[in-house]
Chains A and B, each alone.
Chain A
Amino acid sequence: MTQLPQSTDRKMGLVIDLDTCVGCHACVISCKGWNTENYGAPLSDQNPYGADPSGTFLNRVHSYEVQPPEGHAQLIHFPKSCLHCEDAPCVTVCPTGASYKRSEDGIVLVNESDCIGCGLCAWACPYGARELDLAEGVMKKCTLCVDRIYNDNLPEVDRVPSCVRTCPAGARHFGDLGDPDSEVSQLVAERGGMDLMPEMGTKPVNKYLPPRPKDRIEDQTDILAPLLAPVAEEPKGFIAWLDKALEKL
């Protein structure tokens, strides 16, 4: 089980648009809600009303400041959950076979009844995508909402991950990244979708669309300048211009 399938029929995953994510945490809480009630053990919280609240989440939104060599600093919101890596080290390290990658769609899952809670898979994951649930003693991770995306009890439009369905900005896309014609693959191609820590050799399925270049309005000044050629310098002259302009209407 811990062996990775040699290949998967599909590569289901998420494409996250860093140009659009406003950092609202909707995906975080929606994920928490769905996965607390559904697949496996509930995502527990310790000390939820006390001094040091902490809990299990499968998706978290970071934020980074980037200071380009020139111009204003930028802020980038950065959601992160399991990337369902093709070469998932979290799978191969697992001693029990609880951690596995599905051959049909590449989803990386934990079979909770086999998990001994050793934590090694979380150690092996470079992305911090796995969290050990303290109440249950088993490893939790993004399931890509495997209990939604094929669920016949849900209307077809809703057969997408909870975080994707809820994202108000539409910054999360779901689909088959193994199919070059899929919408997500096209997005990745168009927008230069990237891998996180490619040097780790994990070959993440999830891709990130980089933010578009920012603060470029002044670069267009040459094109724009003619637009602002004054029609008159003085109010008097302007009224005269107005009269003329009105004639043309």
Chain B
Amino acid sequence: MIHQQPKLDTSPKVSDEVRKTTCYMCACRCGINVHMKNGKVAYIEGNRDHPVNKGVLCAKGSAGIMQVNAPSRLRAPLKRVGPRGSGEFQEISWDEALEIATGWLKPIRETDPSKLAFFTGRDQSQSFTSFWAQNFGTPNYAAHGGFCSVNMAAAGIYTMGGAFWEFGQPDWDHTKLFILFGVAEDHDSNPIKMGIGKIKARGARVVGVNPIRSGYNAVADDWYGITPGTDGLLILSLIHVLMKAGKIDLDYLARYTNAPCLMIENPGADDHGLLLRDADGKVLVIDRATGELAPFDRPGVRPDLTGTHVQNGQTCHTVMYKTVNRYLSEEYTPEAVADRCGIPAARIRALAAEIARVAFDEAFEIEQEWTDFRGETHKLMKGRPVSFHSMRGISAHANGFQTCRALHLLQILLGTVEVPGGFRFKPPYPKPVEAHPKPHCKATPGAPLDGPHLGFVRGPEDLALKPDGSPARIDKAFTWENPMSSHGLMHMVISNAHAGDPYKIDTLFMYMANMSWNSTMNTRGVIDMLTDKDESGDYVIPRIIYSDAYSSEMVAYADLILPDTTYLERHDCISLLDRPICEADGAADAIRWPVIEPDRDVRGFQTVLVQLANKLKLPGFTNEDGAAKYTDYADYIVNHQRKPGIGPLAGFRGAAGDKAGRGEVNPDQLDRYIENGGFFVEHVPDAARYYKPWNAAYQDWAVGMGLYDSPQPYLFQLYSEPMRQFQLAAEGHGERQPPDHLRARISQRLDPLPIWYETDQHGNEGYTVNALTQRPMAMYHSWGTQNAWLRQLHGRNPLYVPTKIMREQGLEDGDWARVTSPHGQIVVPVMEMAALNDNTVWTWNAIGKRKGAWALEPDAPEATKGFLLNHLIHELLPPKGDGLRWANSDPVTGQAAWFDLKVKIEKVAGPEEMTESQPAFDPIKSPVGTGPKTLAWKVGE
């Protein structure tokens, strides 16, 4: 028989040119190769040399081309002409826009800078935006961390000087047991997938602890479908079992943690429960060699975990002693927690045993000599190949801070942090609390703030309170309600500003945060607050400036829109001063640069901030002679220095571009980055790769890189002294005193050793089903919808309901159900899911859209079938009857408790009987129209 086939050109030209920059379709910040044809973006792929993604790219990243060309892109500055929320705008020039903004901001700065609230979303230039706000002088600045995952960040930093989130990673190359708590996607999108892939390729075990078995949990070898909010109990139970079996790393605890530190025993006094210190403020241990007290870091000291010391007739015990006493208690046996966690006791024991087996029986060594901070040289690096990772599943609960602490305690007891096979920090972490700033809040008319806004409090004296004890910040961060709110409380800004509590503001300035829709709790209520008017007919929040790149829901609620560029059209800086892109083995940073020019009248927002700063003559932006220091953001990136020799970018510093970390300004720095593929990486030396907090080689390297000013070895904090400081205040000690109604709460919740407590369930009677959201891997919050390719994957979101509830309620796939919380109700389509905790429903986050937004047609499924769970979640808990409104957040950090939501569910209609999910909102007018009817995007011939 004859077979013929056409001749094919199998080597066609791929592109005219490849431009290497950084992805922005999410906060993972992978390196991308942008293939250009005829001056247009033709294809985007991962950059193989890049430390973050090593060539791979997620769905969003590959769809960047549809984002850069999205019809929803804003085209020019907009001035509101209709009422707020109508979407009626007039396009204006940049001159006029900057004039308006300056006209609003200048008087504020001169009279009372705190009348400006400047808040940013998942901003990737926080070191810059905060610098701007600090120079403006307002105390009211924060990014989105408070509603995102501050529990994770703060618990990590307070416990071990770094967190999961993007501050660390499992040792993917060595770990043999990886346990994932409450993660659907996380910021390290690609690295986690690559890591799981590596583990799987080795045939090692992945355990997923998550009420929902999808994504990472679907590939997990073992799934623990836990009841939401009870991870702390499970973890403490694991600790109980492991401890009882003696499966803890005593050597590690003695050397590297505050387990051997002595606690002052002085009941009733203002130092009771603090750590015993010497005159230099160093914590003290008993040296096993001498049996005497010794500062923890004295060379040669061998801290004794069971040491005691008698002082003023009282016996001081170690932190270890207290820890053992607490967690060996019967309240943490698997049998005692099983029902509440929804996991049989035998499975808890099995997990503990497997952890013990891998940590201790599969311990291994890497031949690498290193020297610790006490001067002792170790021939080997001992590996314990158990690693953990976790994110919002445990942190977005009102007991999240303590749960995150508990997980760190577990890792530390096993000795798996910063050892081969365990969890590893990424530079600039580890960084103990002491190396972080404290919060600052003192505003002075016409002058900068007295220091950085956000930081880590060490005790009541660091709270952001005015002299009269009232909150200094509009979001009430760092107050007795949430003393350790290191990231601020973005989710309280609009409601507090609307209530004028703690005070009224004049201008709300926001940047890339969709606060009238998916990013807020109580969406309807927030919309009302944004449009509410006072008796005189003025808006209660008088002015709103907003920067977005696209026609989001929030645009309609601002008075002045500063349209941003897309990520391929501007300079950006992913800085070590900020949220960097480092890997455990290297410090890295990166840039974005305009690989294409905008075809609209838009400007990079950071450049706009520079221009505003110049108009306002903000000190940090103005030379002595009154001239502007920087013309635009690119100029700032290259020439700004935080400290001499340290600027936004660590790479290619010095006149010759040969210095890393520290070095003079290099005018060609951006070009050098571009030549290098858009990023810079400096590898951690071999001897410094593990044991970073205590490893002299690492400490020296970090100082050289400008990450620290001087070596800062420290101990992991099983026991958190700052928390004890707050407890002491609640017990009546110290000058700054909490209000009486908060005393008991502070005493209980700010326990310096991890605890578990049930989150505040008042008002939830009758609402028994947990309701959660998850990030879809192929969508980024609200942005993805405008993307023609991505929205075909997730164009609507059913509520996934476990089989048991489907049967109980007589529901079938596609039926409509009413979901009610104490705060409100929604009516949405349902779909059955068997691989789900029996008492949990969930949906994809942020798929639901407002009609008229994102250049979608008003009948887009996102707006008709999609929905938000946010309508059911309030920023406040239902009234208790005590005259107070309690926040729906963690009492320690103020983290928004998204996942504490409890609902009930009932069938209302069959699939065909309803057409729209409820609540249905009126359409907003699109300032950009809608998109085309067909796409066939090809830029080459």
Q: A residues bordering B, Cβ < 8 Å?
A: 1, 3-6, 17, 19-26, 28-30, 32-34, 36-38, 41-55, 57, 63, 65, 67, 72-77, 97, 100-103, 109, 111, 135-136, 146-147, 149-154, 157-158, 162, 165-171, 211-212, 214-218, 220-221, 224-225, 227-235, 238-239, 241-243, 245-246, 249
4 interchain residue pairs of minimum CB distance: A49-B931, A224-B353, A168-B193, A73-B834
B217 to chain A, nearest CB (A): 8
In the complex, which residue of chain A has the Cβ closest to the Cβ of B357? A227
B62 close to A (CB within 8 Å): yes
Q: CB distance B860 to A22 under 8 Å?
A: no
B149 to chain A, nearest CB (A): 21
Q: CB distance A166 to B45 under 8 Å?
A: yes
Q: Which residues of B lie under 8 Å from residue A158 when comparing CB positions?
A: 48
Q: CB distance A166 to B57 under 8 Å?
A: yes
Q: CB distance B62 to A29 under 8 Å?
A: yes
Of the A-B pairs whose beta carbons lie under 8 Å apart in the complex, a sample of 19, sorted by A's number, is A22-B215, A24-B777, A26-B56, A29-B59, A29-B790, A33-B65, A46-B934, A49-B931, A65-B833, A73-B213, A100-B5, A103-B5, A158-B48, A169-B196, A169-B197, A214-B222, A217-B350, A218-B346, A221-B350
A58 to chain B, nearest CB (A): 13
Contact residues of B between 768 and 789, Cβ < 8 Å to A: 777-778, 786, 788-789
Q: Which residues of A lie under 8 Å from residue B791 when comparing CB positions?
A: 48-49, 53
A117 to B351, CA, bound (A): 56
A45 to B198, CA, bound (A): 35
A186 to chain B, nearest CB (A): 13
Q: CB distance B778 to A25 under 8 Å?
A: yes
Among A102, A154, A227, the one with the most B-chain Cβ atoms within 10 Å of its Cβ is A227
B244 close to A (CB within 8 Å): yes
Q: Which residues of A lie under 8 Å from residue B656 when comparing CB positions?
A: none
A188 to B196, CA, bound (A): 20
B288 close to A (CB within 8 Å): yes
A136 to B935, CA, bound (A): 11
In the complex, which residue of chain A has the Cβ closest to the Cβ of B777? A24
B744 close to A (CB within 8 Å): no
> Given A100-B5, A215-B222, are A53 and B777 also a contact pair (CB < 8 Å)?
no
Q: How many residues of B contact A (CB 8 A)?
A: 119
A28 to B63, CA, bound (A): 10
A195 to B213, CA, bound (A): 26
A3, A67, A165: the one within 8 Å of B45 (CB): A165
B165 close to A (CB within 8 Å): no
Q: CB distance B936 to A48 under 8 Å?
A: no
Q: CB distance B835 to A28 under 8 Å?
A: no
Q: CB distance A235 to B8 under 8 Å?
A: no
B859 to chain A, nearest CB (A): 4
A22, A221, A232, A246: the one within 8 Å of B777 (CB): A22
B2, B65, B244, B351: the one within 8 Å of A3 (CB): B2
Q: CB distance B937 to A36 under 8 Å?
A: yes
Q: CB distance B244 to A147 under 8 Å?
A: no
A106 to B304, CA, bound (A): 69
A245 to B213, CA, bound (A): 40
A162 to B35, CA, bound (A): 14
A135 to B935, CA, bound (A): 9
B10, B58, B60, B350: the one within 8 Å of A218 (CB): B350
Q: CB distance B350 to A220 under 8 Å?
A: yes
In the complex, which residue of chain A has the Cβ closest to the Cβ of B65? A33
Q: Mark B914-941, 1 if CB is under 8 A from A, else 0.
A: 0000000000000000111111111110
In the complex, which residue of chain B has the Cβ closest to the Cβ of A41? B936
Q: CB distance A24 to B778 under 8 Å?
A: yes
B6, B352, B835, B936: the one within 8 Å of A65 (CB): B835
Q: Which of B320-328, B460-468, B502-510, B669-677 contacts A (4 or more CB under 8 A)?
A: B320-328
In the complex, which residue of chain B has the Cβ closest to the Cβ of A231? B246
The number of inter-chain residue pairs (CB within 8 angstroms) is: 329
Q: Which residues of B lie under 8 Å from residue A232 when comparing CB positions?
A: 244
Q: Which of B247-255, B715-723, B749-757, B807-815 contacts A (4 or more CB under 8 A)?
A: B247-255
Q: B residues bordering A, Cβ < 8 Å?
A: 1-6, 8-14, 35, 37, 42-46, 48, 53, 55-63, 65, 71, 189-190, 193-194, 196-198, 200-201, 203, 207, 213-223, 225, 241, 243-247, 250-251, 254, 288, 304-306, 320-321, 324-325, 328-329, 346-347, 349-354, 356-357, 360-361, 777-778, 786, 788-793, 795, 833-836, 855-857, 859-861, 864, 930-940
> Given A23-B214, A170-B194, A231-B244, are A214 and B223 also a contact pair (CB < 8 Å)?
yes
Q: CB distance B792 to A53 under 8 Å?
A: yes
A15 to chain B, nearest CB (A): 13
A50 to B862, CA, bound (A): 10
In the complex, which residue of chain B has the Cβ closest to the Cβ of A97? B4
Q: CB distance A146 to B58 under 8 Å?
A: no
Q: Which residues of A lie under 8 Å from residue B207 when comparing CB positions?
A: 217
Q: CB distance A51 to B306 under 8 Å?
A: no
A31 to chain B, nearest CB (A): 9
B5, B352, B777: the one within 8 Å of A23 (CB): B777
A245 to B198, CA, bound (A): 36
Q: CB distance B354 to A48 under 8 Å?
A: no
A116 to B634, CA, bound (A): 53
Q: CB distance B197 to A168 under 8 Å?
A: yes
Q: CB distance B11 to A151 under 8 Å?
A: yes
A156 to B795, CA, bound (A): 38
Q: CB distance A147 to B57 under 8 Å?
A: no
B117 to chain A, nearest CB (A): 34
Q: CB distance B793 to A28 under 8 Å?
A: yes
In the complex, which residue of chain B has the Cβ closest to the Cβ of A49? B931
Q: CB distance A51 to B857 under 8 Å?
A: yes
Q: CB distance B58 to A26 under 8 Å?
A: yes
Q: CB distance A221 to B201 under 8 Å?
A: no
A113 to B10, CA, bound (A): 17
Among B835, B836, B856, B936, the one with the most A-chain Cβ atoms within 10 Å of its Cβ is B936
List 19 additional A-B contacts (Cβ < 8 Å) besides A26-B58, A42-B937, A227-B360: A19-B200, A23-B215, A26-B57, A26-B61, A42-B936, A44-B934, A55-B935, A75-B214, A75-B217, A151-B11, A151-B14, A165-B55, A168-B56, A168-B193, A170-B197, A212-B221, A214-B221, A215-B221, A231-B245
Q: CB distance B932 to A49 under 8 Å?
A: yes
A162 to B33, CA, bound (A): 13
Q: Which residues of B lie under 8 Å from residue A157 when comparing CB positions?
A: 48
Q: CB distance B14 to A20 under 8 Å?
A: no
In the complex, which residue of chain B has the Cβ closest to the Cβ of A44? B936
Q: CB distance B328 to A37 under 8 Å?
A: no
A177 to chain B, nearest CB (A): 19
